[in-house]
């Protein structure tokens, strides 16, 4: 299984993320999230921890270019990619625990897709989501389930751990439905409901996915962070090689890969 993208420049990760990860990994879930809340014309929409903005863009596709949409993220690089993809959306740099909103600014709908697990102070972020919404406003939050429930993710992590020791994968760091429901309830939301949603994720380029996943795992490994840049690159290359040889063939789907994936989808009202 070879990759035509081995010569890519990975120094601009936000651009790589937008080009190769958003379409297969995040856009399908954004469509589910937006359909579940169903924002209507005239409603103001907030996308927190927006990354390169796929949820906000999915809302815009539903409501049209006149829609009032704000996307907030901590990363300048992610926001730069978001602005390039959709310059007509209001992109703002800011923290989920202290949203950059004008005095009295509120929204009818708020989303947070695969961001809440990375926020150190989750209760503060949930309170900010509540503060940002009008009375009766709706919120939708998605977080990945545990990689113990996602076999390919678990197997890729196991290979990385053979090289760099134990890794706590933050991407799956808010995996249980009950704590997510409790968080929203304690923040003042009502009608809280959390469902587990399963789907099949497909990538045309399996080796590229293995490389991007290895980069993510290495970034969460204390041992990898302590390595020199040269050593880290050599270890990463060995991890990718093992992943391509030992895991990806199990998930071959034509010229790419396909694997089961699952997430919590929480909805509530302010």
pLDDT string in tens for the chain (270-residue length): 444 455 667 778 899 999 999 999 999 999 999 999 999 999 999 999 999 999 999 999 999 999 999 999 999 999 999 999 999 999 999 999 999 999 999 999 999 999 999 999 999 999 999 999 999 999 999 999 999 999 999 999 999 999 999 999 999 999 999 999 999 999 999 999 999 999 999 999 999 999 999 999 999 999 999 999 999 999 999 999 999 999 999 999 999 999 999 999 999 999
Distance in angstroms (rounded) separating the CA atoms of residues 8 and 21 = 14
Q: What is the torsional sign of CA 27, 197, 199, 207?
A: positive
Collapse the DSSP code of 154 into the 3-class scheme (helix H, G, I; strand E, B; otherwise coil) and give the result.
helix
DSSP 26: I
How confident is the model at residue 7, as a pLDDT? 60
How confident is the model at residue 11, as a pLDDT? 78
**Burial letters for 29-63: b for 16+ Cβ neighbours within 10 Å, e otherwise?**
bbebbbebbebeeebbbbbbbbbbbbbbbbbbebb
pTM over 0.85: yes
Distance in angstroms (rounded) separating the CA atoms of residues 236 and 227 = 11
Name the CA radius of gyration of the chain, rounded.
19
Distance in angstroms (rounded) separating the CA atoms of residues 75 and 83 = 12
Count of alpha carbons within 13 Å of 191, Cβ hemisphere only? 11
DSSP 117: G
Residue 188 neighbours by CB under 8 Å, 6+ apart: 127, 130, 270
Helical axes 27-37 vs 54-63, angle rounded to 10°:
50
Q: How far is CA 250 from the centre of its chain?
A: 25
Domain 13-269 CATH (choose: 3.40.50.300, 3.30.450.40, 3.40.50.970, 3.40.50.150): 3.40.50.150
Angle made by CA atoms 56, 57, 58, in degrees to the nearest 5: 90
């Amino acid at each position: 299984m070879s990759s035509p993208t081995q010569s890519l420049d990975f120094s601009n990760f936000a651009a790589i993320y937008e080009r190769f990860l958003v379409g297969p990994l995040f856009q399908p879930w954004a469509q589910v999230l937006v359909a579940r809340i169903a924002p209507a014309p005239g409603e103001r929409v907030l996308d927190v921890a927006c990354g390169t903005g796929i949820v906000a863009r999915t809302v815009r596709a539903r409501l049209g270019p006149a829609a009032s949409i704000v996307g907030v993220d901590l990363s300048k690089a992610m926001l730069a990619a978001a602005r390039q993809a959709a310059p007509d959306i209001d992109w703002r740099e800011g923290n989920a625990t202290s949203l950059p909103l004008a005095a009295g600014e509120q929204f009818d709908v708020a989303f947070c897709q695969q961001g809440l697990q990375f926020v150190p102070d989750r209760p503060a972020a949930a309170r900010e989501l509540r503060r940002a919404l009008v009375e009766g406003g709706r919120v939708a939050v998605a977080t990945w389930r545990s990689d113990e429930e996602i076999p390919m993710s678990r197997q890729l992590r196991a290979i990385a751990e053979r090289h760099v020791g134990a890794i706590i994968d933050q991407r799956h760091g808010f995996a249980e439905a009950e704590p997510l429901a409790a968080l929203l309830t304690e923040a003042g939301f009502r009608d809280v409901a959390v469902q587990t949603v399963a789907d099949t994720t497909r990538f045309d380029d399996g080796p590229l996915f293995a490389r991007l996943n290895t980069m993510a795992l290495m970034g969460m490994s204390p041992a990898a962070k302590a390595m020199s840049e040269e050593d880290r690159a050599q270890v990463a290359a060995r991890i990718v090689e093992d992943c391509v040889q030992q895991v990806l063939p199990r998930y071959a789907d034509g010229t790419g890969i396909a694997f089961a994936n699952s997430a919590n989808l929480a909805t509530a009202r302010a």
